[in-house]
């Protein structure tokens, strides 16, 4: 129930009340307070959801250039270097070559092996 529905119910109740027995003002104040509380909780829930989404995007972006490991739907373990990140779906996906790995499937993240200064990679 949102504020518009509540206000429509309140107006209807006020229109149809018995003039000799008006609505209790304490009850009306209580209902208004409950509505305000519900609206704030809904707003806080939306903010928390947006924050979680931003955290997932930030975590996925931080994996670019790092070694990641994951298990596919068949239970096979894989690993590779994260090339890029896609935010097209609800859960960010880390790209490893042609594969798209959902963030919630990644089991580990490690730094890529660095070549010591002065030496060359084989």
Determine the structural domain holding residue 69 and report its residue range: 1-12+32-112
* Residue 45, domain member (yes or no): yes
CATH number at residue 70: 2.30.30.100
Q: What is the pLDDT of residues 81-98, one digit of tens each?
A: 999 999 988 889 999 999
* Residue 120, domain member (yes or no): no
CA distance linking residue 77 with residue 69, whole number of Å: 7
Per-residue tokens: 17: 């009340």
* Residue 71, domain member (yes or no): yes
* Residue 122, domain member (yes or no): no
Does residue 24 surpass a pLDDT of 90?
Answer: no
Most confident of 5-9, 32-36, 101-105, 115-119: 101-105
* Residue 106, domain member (yes or no): yes
| pLDDT value at residue 27 | 78
Query: Which residues, including other chains, have CB under 8 Å from residue 104's CB and lie 6 or more apart?
Result: 91
* Residue 26, domain member (yes or no): no
Percent of the chain with pLDDT over 90: 42
Percent of the chain with pLDDT over 70: 89
CA distance linking residue 110 with residue 113, whole number of Å: 9
CA distance linking residue 63 with residue 116, whole number of Å: 22
* Residue 90, domain member (yes or no): yes
Tally of domains within the chain: 1
Does residue 118 surpass a pLDDT of 50?
Answer: no
Considering only residues 122 and 52, tell me which one the structure prediction assigns the higher pLDDT: 52
Most distant pair of Cα atoms in the chain: their distance: 95
* pTM > 0.75: no
């Amino acid at each position: 129930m949102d504020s518009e529905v509540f206000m429509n119910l309140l107006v209807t109740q006020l229109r149809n009340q018995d003039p000799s027995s008006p609505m209790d003002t304490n009850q009306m104040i209580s209902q208004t307070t409950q509505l305000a509380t519900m609206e704030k909780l809904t707003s806080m829930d939306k903010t928390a959801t947006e924050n979680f989404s931003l955290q997932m995007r930030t975590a996925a972006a931080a994996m670019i250039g790092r070694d990641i490991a994951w298990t596919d739907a068949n239970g096979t373990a894989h690993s590779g270097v994260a090339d890029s990140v896609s935010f097209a779906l609800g859960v960010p996906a880390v790209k490893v070559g042609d594969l798209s790995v959902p963030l919630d499937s990644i089991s580990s993240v490690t730094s890529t092996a660095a070549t010591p200064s002065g030496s060359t990679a084989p």
